[in-house]
Structure 1
Amino acid sequence: MAAVMPTSSVSRRHLQGCTEVKSYSKHWLCLFPQHGPGRKHKRRIALEPWQREIFKKHPGLFVRGLMHSDGYRGMNRIRRHSNGSDRCYEYPRYLFTNESKDILELCGEALTMLGVDWRYSRYNTISVARREAVERLDEFVGPKY
């Protein structure tokens, strides 16, 4: 943050499981034009041309950021009853949940660029559950601290 905005002071605070980083400047809006008043899912979120260039070059980093902020990687456990017996199995999957349709579309676009098979499991949730897709996404996301 200090390298991008050298005239703005940057502070850090270590919390349990994360580090909070803050910097105050009126000029952050120039770098993040999507920011504005109101809820993000009720306003248009579109990448500026210069942001789209970065997005195309680094879709893995984009998805990593989304998954670390609003995503989940865990085990999906299934229990099936058939013919009087229970059959249980589990598999890893990613879920990304967001109320912004635009952000969900950007996530899906980035996943497609990475060759990751995905689908909507709910209107506001993207699911990555196929073994090959989870393994591919693991290459980019890494552990969430």
Structure 2
Amino acid sequence: MYDMGTRKRALALMAQGRSLNSVSRETGISRYAIRSWQTRLEPRERVSKPCPRCRETPGFPEDPAVYAYLLGLYLGDGCISAHRKGVYVMRVALDNAWPGIIDTCETAMRTVRPDNRVCRVRRQGCVVVCAASKHWPCLFPQHGPGKKHERPIALEPWQQAVVDAHPWDFVRGLIHSDGCRITNWTTRMVAGERKRYEYPRYFFTNKSDDIRSLYTGTLDRLGVEWTPCTRDGNPYNISVAKKASVALMDTHVGPKH
């Protein structure tokens, strides 16, 4: 139905980093057709390189700071699922309200696996950033069956070394996925008059005891004071509200964007 020029134009738009949906809307070509052309027509001169963990002597990711950030995102709102022929897909679901975080997540995936395509899938209220690779389980051994909060989550020694070297990147990834910075308020009586005070506060919410422990352990090493809070009677929330600790978080994490 489409000539070769039309097909190449659609693929050129995809190569610019455009989403499948936007190219489909602009060209009037179905998503299915564009996806099939990507598989059949794109050049294959690039050969995927093994990940750092699959080398004869396993090593660290080439950009450990970016890896630490992506690890935080994955532990928060990410998942890895088997696809086909030994390929796995990493997906990170992010709120539409934070386009800067969506961009940063895409960049992180491209940096960690530069030989693999990254795409965005739009869902109601969110964008799922995803990429396929045979090496996601090598790089993120926390992958496994079932929900993360229903199974043990622990870092491998080499991952812990990366987090120890780049703790703020790890914390930023966790906050960008399962955290927030809000403004709380309270009232106090001053000279017989009740006055309202506002103060910033960071929250991190995750059902996994292990993931919360990784977060708070990293905060401890950074000198950030935190307090556990409950949600519906469950200790899902970690609060950072002390002025000095919030200032540290503001310097290295900041509000979502």
Q: Give the TM-score, by structure 1 length.
A: 0.85
Paired position in structure 2 for 1:110: 218
**Residue of 117, 123, 147 corresponding to 1:39:** 147
Q: Larger helix proportion, structure 1 or 2?
A: 2
**Residue of 168, 179, 202 corresponding to 1:71:** 179
The percent identity for this pair of structures is: 51
Letter of the aligned partner of 1:97 in structure 2?
T
Structure 2: tracts of 5 or more residues without a match:
1-108
- Distance in 2 (alpha carbons) for counterparts of 1:23 and 1:79: 48
SS state of the match for residue 212, structure 2? helix
1:140, distance to aligned residue in structure 2 (A): 1.2
Letter of the aligned partner of 2:207 in structure 1?
E
1:86, distance to aligned residue in structure 2 (A): 3.3
Paired position in structure 2 for 1:124: 236
1:91, distance to aligned residue in structure 2 (A): 0.7
CA-atom RMSD in angstroms: 2.6
- Distance in 2 (alpha carbons) for counterparts of 1:128 and 1:3: 31
Paired position in structure 2 for 1:61: 169
1:78, distance to aligned residue in structure 2 (A): 1.4
Give per-residue Cα distances to partners, 1:70-102, cap 9 Å, x unaligned: 1110111113579x8533211111011100000
Letter of the aligned partner of 2:201 in structure 1?
R
SS state of the match for residue 143, structure 1? coil
- Distance in 2 (alpha carbons) for counterparts of 1:101 and 1:8: 32
Q: Give the TM-score, by structure 2 length.
A: 0.50
- Distance in 2 (alpha carbons) for counterparts of 1:42 and 1:20: 22
- Distance in 2 (alpha carbons) for counterparts of 1:85 and 1:2: 56
- Distance in 2 (alpha carbons) for counterparts of 1:65 and 1:34: 16
Paired position in structure 1 for 2:198: 90
Instruction: Report 1 or 2 for greater relative contact order, CA contacts < 8 Å, sequence distance ≥ 6.
Output: 1
1:141, distance to aligned residue in structure 2 (A): 0.5
Larger Rg: 2
Number of residue pairs the alignment of both structures matches: 144
**Residue of 109, 133, 138 corresponding to 2:245:** 133
Q: Larger strand proportion, structure 1 or 2?
A: 1
Letter of the aligned partner of 1:41 in structure 2?
H
SS state of the match for residue 124, structure 1? strand
Structure 1: tracts of 5 or more residues without a match:
none
Matched-pair contact (CA < 8 Å) for 2:181–2:254: no
Letter of the aligned partner of 2:118 in structure 1?
V
Paired position in structure 2 for 1:52: 160
Detail structure 1 runs of 4+ shifted over 2 Å in the superposition: 1-15, 18-22, 79-82, 84-87
SS state of the match for residue 24, structure 1? strand
